[in-house]
Amino acid sequence: MPPVHADDGTLVNAVVGFLNFIARLIVDRKPGRLVVAMEFGSDWRPQFRVALIPEYKSHRVATDDSPPDEVEPQLIMIAEVMRAIGVAIASSEECEAEDVIATLSTKFDGPIEVVSGDRDLFTLVRDPRITVLYTLRGVTELAHVDQRWIHAKYGIPGDRYLDYAILRGDPSDGLPGVRGIGEKTASTLLSKYGSLDGILAAKDVSTTIKARLHAGKDYIHAARTVVAPVLDCKVGKVDGALPRGELTPRVSELAERYGIKASVRRVVDALPR
């Protein structure tokens, strides 16, 4: 998406993209409730994770030499516009956005659809209550991730993505995984033994695999906490009820200020009257 600027030069392409995404999502999925989970600020890595694995997402931390972050200011604008429209925003100073989503999944009854491009949230999938709509190409192409999908994709029990993520690691998150155990081996082991605990307790694991697991035991112990989503973040009371689609003076003022009138109108028109 090419850069989009407001009249005063403020970059708003992420705001426009997000609003258009939300509008299409509401039309397509017709949710009864909607909550947007966000994280703000430069100190976003939970210290309990960094203390256990210092490399955790370290490459994403801005340094003095880093170029200005173009997205962070737009997150604040997105939250401002969403709140003005009446869509709930949930965040927690102690947690990442994925933890906020995990916490919210414990607070609502009925089916829940988690919309995200973050595979870490596959750990929440539990049929039939929680599915992930994984963004493949914007909102026009979403993979409906349930336990069957996980099994077909990774060859593991559908409720064991957490164990899979621990074993194979994720370089994009600074998680090394167990040395010598990649995706294929992790999949084979989980398919045979059912869980990480089952693998560790098995008597017939090969000596090579047993040695690799032993060498990685400290990492496995730390990763169980680092990789697992937090289910009790302090998010306050979040109702998530959809607001009425109404172009209030405050919403109109923000739409004019940021030069995003068409995108705001799409969201307002998508909401119930």
Tokens of 272: 């119930």
Rounded to 5 degrees, φ, ψ at 226 are -70, -45
DSSP 140: T
Q: Is the pLDDT score of 65 beyond 80?
A: no
- Over residues 261-266, the mean pLDDT reads 98
Residue 42 CB-density burial (10 A; 0-12 exposed, 13-18 middle, 19+ buried): exposed
Q: Can you point out the beta strands (E) in the chain?
A: 35-37, 88-90, 112-116, 130-137, 141-145
Residue 197 CB-density burial (10 A; 0-12 exposed, 13-18 middle, 19+ buried): exposed
Rounded to 5 degrees, φ, ψ at 233 are -65, 155
The confidence score (pLDDT) of residue 187 equals 98
List beta partners, residue 36. Answer: 89
Task: Count CB neighbours of 249 within 10 A.
Answer: 8
Do the beta carbons of residue 9 and residue 218 sit within 8 Å?
A: no
Task: For the chain, give the percent of residues with pLDDT over 90.
Answer: 85
Pairing of strands 141-145, 130-137: antiparallel
Residue-wise pLDDT for 181-224, tens only, equals 999 999 999 999 999 999 999 999 999 999 999 999 999 999 99
3-state secondary structure (DSSP) of residue 13:
helix
Residue-wise pLDDT for 13-34, tens only, equals 999 999 999 999 999 999 999 9
CA dihedral 89, 92, 93, 99 (to 10 degrees): -120
pTM confidence score: 0.93
Distance from chain centroid for Cα 135: 11
The confidence score (pLDDT) of residue 1 equals 59
Q: Is the pLDDT score of 64 beyond 70?
A: no
Residue-wise pLDDT for 149-193, tens only, equals 999 999 999 999 999 999 999 988 999 999 999 999 999 999 999
The full set of domains in the chain, from first to last, is 13-270 (3.40.50.1010)
Do the beta carbons of residue 23 and residue 266 sit within 8 Å?
A: yes
Tell me the residue type at 164. Y
Q: Is the pLDDT score of 66 beyond 80?
A: no
Going by C-alpha positions, the residue among 17, 81, 6 that lies closest to residue 252 is: 81
The confidence score (pLDDT) of residue 9 equals 84
Residue 255 CB-density burial (10 A; 0-12 exposed, 13-18 middle, 19+ buried): buried
The confidence score (pLDDT) of residue 125 equals 98
The answer, yes or no, to whether the previous bond of 243 is cis (omega within 30 of 0) is no
Residue-wise pLDDT for 230-243, tens only, equals 999 999 999 999 99
Mean pLDDT, the chain, whole residue set = 94
How far is it, in rounded angstroms, from Cα 227 to Cα 151? 20
Residue 185 CB-density burial (10 A; 0-12 exposed, 13-18 middle, 19+ buried): middle
Helices in 126-206 by DSSP H: which ranges?
A: 147-154, 161-168, 183-193, 196-201
